[in-house]
Amino acid sequence: DATQGTSGDCQPCPCPAGATCAVVPKTREVVCTNCPAGTTGKRCELCDDGFFGDPLGQNGPVRVCRACKCSDNIDPNAVGNCNRETGECLKCIYNTDGFFCDRCKEGFYGNALATNPADKCKPCSCSPSGTVGRQTSCSQVTGQCQCLPNVAERDCSACEPGFFNLLSGDGCERCNCNPIGSTN
Amino acid sequence: TRPDVLPLPSGTHLLYAQSGRIEHVPMDGYDMKKDDAKAILHLPEKVIIGVAYDCVEKMVYWTDITTPTISKASIQGGQPTAVIRSDLNSPEGLAIDHLGRTMFWTDSMKDCIEVASLDGSQRRVIVDSDLVNPRAIIADPPNGYLYWADWNRDAPKIETSYMDGSNRRVLVKDDLGLPNGLTYDSQSSMLCWADAGTHKMECMHPDRGDRRQVMEGVQYPFGIVSFGKNIYYTDWKRDAVIAVDRYAGRESDEFQPQKRTKLYGIAIAYAHCPSGQNYCAVN
């Protein structure tokens, strides 16, 4: 307030260099109006959408705002791709998941960091009748589903040699063929 | 067929979202009074995506993806009030039926379209299948239609339905890229969109299906709104509001706010509501 005639009438903006500020008429709150590029917030303490960091170091060391780091597994046309402070990725695509979209989401396996989207994360597609508890998830890396006893294949879709009755849902049973009357 | 320029009511404004603010540019006819552009609302912690205007109560509504919420405030001053605060993930596009007193929004994480009364009550999901990246949504209450766009990179599309979600059908699916913005002009009955993938702005009569290009070479459109002979859109590459003369098919003006950061939703705050009766009131 420049009309009071005291030395404290005009105070510097509590904003980073270059930013201007204004007083919200109703609340008398001071808000920065022209935050440096990539930053926003009342005190320019936040990063713009699509960026993350802690530009004023409010929760630790200063981290300048950087573009969301999500392993190339976000879409630049999306909004809100990562948490503006922590950088946690919020909109992973190509069936990826995790803080940095760096692993396959539940029910998928493969290499989330592969360059070609088609090589990234594939569905587990576990065979329900051959999988323990009809689970839909598998090993993140190999894609191996958890098979019932005597069940084979990555997706638990076949009996081991010498076993039959996959559809029982309890694993496969030994054939018990008489060696004398069988061809092999 | 160029319609006559309509007499414009006084006190019309463009509203747009930028970096936790809703700004306004007063309109002088079809010209943006750029020097008078000002923020009407400061919400520094928010990321505001969709903006819509209720001409009856002179309220601006917006979606915020940080909390996430849908809120409103009077453009004549007053506190923002949250109207929807639960069960939202990434609310983006927002449309207001000023006749039916309802709002519609898309949620790009829940992959659905919802409706509620303007006070937030009577909330209901009206579309929840075959949506991947729904964003823009608009309502045409006099004719009883909703229109929305889905920028799904594998199969982008523009769809329509009645305002309860029934009678859903795809209007456009060929030669689309990232149809981010959608607008409906009730004077000419034209549905227009801006595409950040094909870099085109196009229009069609929804019931006739005739599609034509307004212009090409648009850089990165996000929001779009039709106003008389002009279409105004926000652009992510240029960080600007750009005016396009629909009939001349060329850019006629540009407003670049001082702050260089992405601009999102855009809406027109009319001084008076456009004339028209609710489709349901007629039937």
Q: Give the bridge partners for A63, in sequence order.
A: A54
Alpha carbon B251 to its chain centroid, in Å, reads: 19
| Greater pLDDT, A22 or A155 | A155
Region of residue B20 (phi > 0: left; psi between -120 and 50: alpha; otherwise: beta):
left
C-beta separation of B62 from B50 below 8 A = yes
Q: Give the bridge partners for A29, in sequence order.
A: none
Write the DSSP string, B5-16.
PPPPPSS-EEEE
C-beta separation of A59 from A46 below 8 A = no
Total domain count, chain A? 1
Residue of A51, A79, A84, A88 to mutate, interface with B, max B Cβ within 10 Å: A79
Residue A82 DSSP code: B
Minimal Cβ distance to A42: which of B19, B44, B153: B44
Within chain B, residue ranges assigned H as helices are 279-282
d(CA A131, CA B103): 46
Cβ of residue B258 closer than 8 Å to a chain A Cβ: yes
Closest Cα of chain A to B38: distance in Å? 11
Minimal Cβ distance to B45: which of A34, A37, A41: A41
What's the residue count for chain B?
A: 283
Minimal Cβ distance to A49: which of B39, B47, B109: B47
Burial class (CB within 10 angstroms; exposed 0-12, middle 13-18, buried 19+) of A179: exposed
pLDDT at residue B9, as a whole number: 37
- What the block records as the tokens of A69 is 């780091």
Cβ of residue A139 closer than 8 Å to a chain B Cβ: no
Flag whether pLDDT at A9 surpasses 60.
yes
Query: Across chain B, how many H-helices and E-strands are there?
Result: 1, 25
- What the block records as the tokens of B131 is 């949506």
d(CA B94, CA B102): 11
Closest Cα of chain B to A112: distance in Å? 19
Cβ of residue B252 closer than 8 Å to a chain A Cβ: no
> ω into residue B68 within 30 of 0, thus cis?
yes
Alpha carbon B248 to its chain centroid, in Å, reads: 22
Cβ of residue A40 closer than 8 Å to a chain B Cβ: yes
pLDDT digits (tens, 9 = 90+) for A169-179: 899 999 888 87
Find, among A130, A184, A129, the residue nearest to A162 by Cα.
Answer: A184
Minimal Cβ distance to B65: which of A41, A48, A80: A80
Instruction: Report in angstroms the alpha-carbon separations of A39 from A32, A36, A62.
Output: 11, 6, 13
Residue A11, domain member (yes or no): no
Residue A81 DSSP code: -
Closest Cα of chain B to A48: distance in Å? 7
Residue A157, domain member (yes or no): yes
Minimal Cβ distance to B44: which of A37, A40, A75: A40
d(CA A121, CA A103): 8
CATH code (residue A146): 2.10.25.10
Question: What would you report as the CA-atom Rg of chain B, rounded to the nearest whole angstrom?
Answer: 17
pLDDT in tens, chain B (283 residues): 232 223 233 589 999 999 788 999 999 999 999 998 888 888 888 999 999 999 999 999 999 999 999 999 988 877 899 999 999 999 999 999 999 999 999 999 999 999 999 999 999 999 999 999 999 999 999 999 999 999 999 999 999 999 999 999 999 999 999 999 999 998 899 999 999 999 999 999 999 989 999 999 999 999 999 999 999 999 999 999 999 999 999 999 999 998 889 999 999 998 888 877 766 665 4
Residue B152, domain member (yes or no): yes
Cβ of residue B65 closer than 8 Å to a chain A Cβ: yes
Find, among A101, A97, A95, A146, the residue nearest to A121 by Cα.
Answer: A95
Residue B171, domain member (yes or no): yes
The enclosing H or E element of B149 equals strand B145-150
Q: Contacts of residue A58 in chain B, CB cutoff 8 Å?
A: none
Residue B101, domain member (yes or no): yes
d(CA B126, CA B71): 20
Q: Contacts of residue A21 in chain B, CB cutoff 8 Å?
A: none
Cβ of residue B20 closer than 8 Å to a chain A Cβ: yes
| Greater pLDDT, A124 or B258 | A124
pLDDT digits (tens, 9 = 90+) for B254-273: 999 988 899 999 999 988 88
Residue A173, domain member (yes or no): yes
Q: Contacts of residue A80 in chain B, CB cutoff 8 Å?
A: 47, 65-66, 90
Q: Contacts of residue A85 in chain B, CB cutoff 8 Å?
A: none
Find, among B212, B207, B142, the residue nearest to B171 by Cα.
Answer: B207
Domain of residue A174: give its range: 124-184
pLDDT at residue A26, as a whole number: 67
C-beta separation of B60 from B70 below 8 A = no
Flag whether pLDDT at A48 surpasses 50.
yes
Residue B212's SS3 state is: strand
Find, among A112, A156, A159, the residue nearest to A137 by Cα.
Answer: A156
Locus of tokens 């307030």: A1
Find, among A75, A16, A87, the residue nearest to A51 by Cα.
Answer: A87
User: A42 pLDDT band (50/70/90 cuts)?
Assistant: confident
The ipTM of this complex is 0.91
One-letter identity of residue B225: V
Total domain count, chain B? 1
Residue A176, domain member (yes or no): yes
User: Which stretch of A22-31, A123-132, A157-166 has the lowest confidence by average pLDDT?
Assistant: A22-31
Cβ of residue B105 closer than 8 Å to a chain A Cβ: no
d(CA A63, CA B39): 28
Residue of B21, B40, B45 to mutate, interface with A, max A Cβ within 10 Å: B45
CATH code (residue B176): 2.120.10.30
Residue B5, domain member (yes or no): no
Locus of tokens 């780091």: A69
Note whether B260 contacts A37, CB cutoff 8 Å.
yes
Cβ of residue A92 closer than 8 Å to a chain B Cβ: no
C-beta separation of B132 from B150 below 8 A = yes
Question: How large a percentage of chain A has pLDDT more than 90?
Answer: 70
Note whether B196 contacts A80, CB cutoff 8 Å.
no
Residue A110, domain member (yes or no): no
Locus of tokens 């004398």: A180
d(CA B254, CA B91): 28
Domain of residue B233: give its range: 46-282
Closest Cα of chain A to B15: distance in Å? 18
Q: Give the bridge partners for B117, in sequence order.
A: B102
One-letter identity of residue B41: L
